[in-house]
Amino acid sequence: MSRDSRDLIVLGHRGGRGEGWPAENTLPAFERAIAEGADGVELDVRLTLDGEAIVFHDTTLARATGGADARAVHKVAYADLPILPGGERIPRLADVLDAMRGRIVNVELKADVAPTSMLGDVPQRMRLVRTAAAAVKKTNGVDVVFSSFDPLSVIALVAVLPRVPRAILVGTRTPRAATALPLAMRAAIVAAHVDESLVTAARAERLARSGLRVAAWTVNDPARAQLLVALGASWIITDAPGRIVAALSPRR
């Protein structure tokens, strides 16, 4: 990436979330995150029925539409996606990358591309990797980092798009892997994106010693953000970018 790896970075989680925010993972949410001072955004990518890489978190449309549409995303063509209750559209990855020129975009690949067996969905996961990589290749002026909970997707990116940085995501379901998995994958990744509750001084130190950057998610409390930076996290991913940027401004 063009920015110094030592920089303290704040990313808007799905742009931002909470009362008064536009729908998550939409262009208005990303634009507000930047307006509040974020260095960039974190977003989720999955495929539609016709193979479009869209920016959307859940496997179904139910939560985003307030229960009005419960269809599985992978069974809906892009042109048939609903307008969200606030009037926002579900964007394509390419649309967001075009809008975020000059910014950092953390593209999380959703490994659960279809509710099938782990073996059966491997082709779909590889299809997602290739489609997302193609969108990134066509975009200039955006600092992209890929991330995923799925090691297979991360490793596939080494071959598909070797020059774009990659990170492994670690959550609370596998707390013991918070250090072990990133260290095991350090040849393929530049960073560990760790649930903020799992970030400790010891873990951050071990990861840093191996040359891995630590990103903490999702951090909405200013005091916690300051502590995480003190522990060694250099990227903070938050639902409240304006509040976190203000809290960390003396360190930036």
For 209-227, what is each residue's pLDDT tens digit? 999 999 999 999 999 999 9
Percentage of the chain modeled with pLDDT above 70: 94
Q: Tell me, what's the pLDDT at 100?
A: 98
Sort strands 40-47 and 53-55 into parallel, antiparallel or unpaired: antiparallel
For residue 174, name the pLDDT band (cuts at 50, 70, 90): confident
Q: What's the rounded mean pLDDT across residues 134-148?
A: 97
In a domain, 54, yes or no: yes
The rounded distance, in Å, linking the Cα atoms of 63 and 18 is: 14
In a domain, 71, yes or no: no
In a domain, 70, yes or no: no
Q: Tell me, what's the pLDDT at 2?
A: 44
Q: Tell me, what's the pLDDT at 112?
A: 77
pLDDT reading at 114 higher than 50: no
In a domain, 67, yes or no: no
Q: Exposed/middle/buried for 159, CB within 10 Å: 0-12, 13-18, 19+? A: exposed
Token pair in block for residue 149:
């909970």
Element (H, E) at 94: helix 93-99
pLDDT in tens, 94-111: 999 999 999 999 999 997
pTM (predicted TM-score): 0.94
Listed residue (101, 98, 107) closest to 2, CA to CA: 101
Show the domain range for 130: 9-58+90-251
- Output the domain CATH number for residue 17: 3.20.20.190
pLDDT reading at 119 higher than 90: no
Q: Tell me, what's the pLDDT at 251?
A: 77
CA distances from 47 to 99, 164, 230 (A): 20, 20, 38
For residue 123, name the pLDDT band (cuts at 50, 70, 90): confident
pLDDT in tens, 38-67: 999 999 999 999 999 999 999 999 999 999
Q: Tokens 């990116």 identify what position?
A: 157
Q: Tokens 């229960």 identify what position?
A: 67
In a domain, 76, yes or no: no
In a domain, 172, yes or no: yes
Q: What's the rounded mean pLDDT across residues 150-158?
A: 95
pLDDT reading at 171 higher than 70: yes
Q: What's the rounded mean pLDDT across residues 184-192?
A: 98
Token pair in block for residue 177:
């892997």
* Residue 85 DSSP code: T
In a domain, 238, yes or no: yes
Q: Tell me, what's the pLDDT at 236?
A: 98
In a domain, 41, yes or no: yes
For residue 116, name the pLDDT band (cuts at 50, 70, 90): very low
E runs forming strands in 60-190: 104-109, 143-148, 166-170
CA distances from 164 to 18, 133, 154, 201, 218 (A): 31, 9, 11, 28, 23
Domain count, the chain: 1
The rounded distance, in Å, linking the Cα atoms of 65 and 194 is: 29
